[in-house]
């Protein structure tokens, strides 16, 4: 059985709930079982925010997990809150401009927000860059499915840029994984 418990953590307004739905939609397209849960209430509109996605090739008995096996931390707070729960084999993707930890075998650093701002010229696409990078990291979902989901879910006028952002995130992660050892130099 293949199963990944993915936690997307950052602050309210970064579109993590949206990112979770794009991941989930793409996973459905890829034939996976999927469930999502997201922080609800005032949290979702400011302060700390999180969204959980469970992907599996079998039925998901329990949609709620206390510890993720894949963590996206868009800020230091998110890393401090959820990082310590991770085991040795669990993966983490951090925004290298905001989270100050060294890269490692299971720690991936990418300047997600900076790429969104400078390359895509839209800070709001940070979440989609992250989705692309996560997709390339966890596998089982083709890039085409992620791009399609990112377009399908997008508000009017954002379909194209969302797709570009997903694609860019995917490429960056592939590059990074191609040379994990010198990831620090390239990623940050």
Partner 1 sequence: MAIELVSGNEACARGAIAAGCNFFGGYPISPSSEIAETLAKLLPERQGIFIQMEDEMASVGSVLGASLGGAKAMTATSGPGFTLMQEHLGYATLAEIPCVVVDVMRVGPSTGVPTAPSQGDVMQARWGSHGDREVAVLAPASVKEIYDMTVNAFNIAERLRTPVVLMFDEVLAHMREGVELFQPSVEELWSRPRPVDHPSSTFQPYSPNSEGVALMPNFGDGYHFHVTGLMHNEKGFPTTHPETIRQLMARLKRKMEPLPLWLPAEHYRLKDAEVAVVAYGITARVAKEAVDRLRDQGILAGVYRPRILWPVGRSDLIETLGKFQSIVVAEMNQGQWVEVVERYLPNSVRVLLQSKLGGEPMTTEEILDGCREFVKKGVRAL
Q: Which is nearer to partner 1, 34 or 107 (CB)?
A: 34
Q: How many residues bind partner 1, per CB under 8 A?
A: 21
How would you classify the pairing of strands 48-56 and 107-110? unpaired
- Residue 28 makes contact with partner 1 by CB under 8 A: yes
Token look-up 């993590």 returns 16
- Residue 72 makes contact with partner 1 by CB under 8 A: no
Binding segment toward partner 1, per CB under 8 A, in 33-41, 98-106, 107-115, 167-175: 33-41
Are 108 and 92 a contacting pair, CB within 8 Å? yes
- Residue 16 makes contact with partner 1 by CB under 8 A: no
The string over 95-126, giving b where at least 16 C-beta atoms fall within 10 Å of a residue's C-beta and e elsewhere, is bbbbbeeebeebbbbbbbbbbbbeebeeebbb
- Residue 48 makes contact with partner 1 by CB under 8 A: no
The SS3 assignment for 93 reads: strand
User: Could you list the residues that contact partner 1 (CB under 8 A)?
Assistant: 21, 24-25, 27-28, 32-38, 40-41, 43, 60-64, 66
């Amino acid at each position: 059985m293949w199963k990944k418990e993915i936690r997307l953590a950052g602050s309210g307004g970064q579109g993590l709930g949206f990112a979770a739905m794009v991941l989930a939609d793409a996973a459905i397209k890829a034939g996976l079982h999927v469930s999502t849960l997201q922080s609800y209430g005032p949290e979702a509109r400011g302060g700390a925010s999180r969204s959980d996605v469970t992907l599996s090739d079998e039925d998901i008995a329990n949609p709620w997990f206390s510890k993720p096996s894949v963590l996206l931390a868009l800020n230091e707070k998110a890393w401090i809150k959820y990082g310590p729960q991770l085991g040795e084999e669990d993966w983490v993707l951090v925004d290298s401009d905001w989270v100050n930890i060294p890269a490692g075998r299971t720690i991936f650093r990418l300047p997600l927000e900076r790429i969104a701002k400078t390359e895509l010229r839209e800070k709001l696409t940070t979440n989609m860059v992250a989705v692309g990078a996560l997709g390339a990291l966890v596998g089982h979902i083709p890039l085409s499915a992620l791009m399609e989901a990112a377009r399908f879910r997008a508000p009017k006028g954002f379909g194209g840029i969302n797709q570009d952002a997903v694609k860019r995130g995917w490429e960056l992660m592939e590059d990074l994984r191609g040379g994990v050892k010198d990831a620090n130099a390239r990623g940050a």
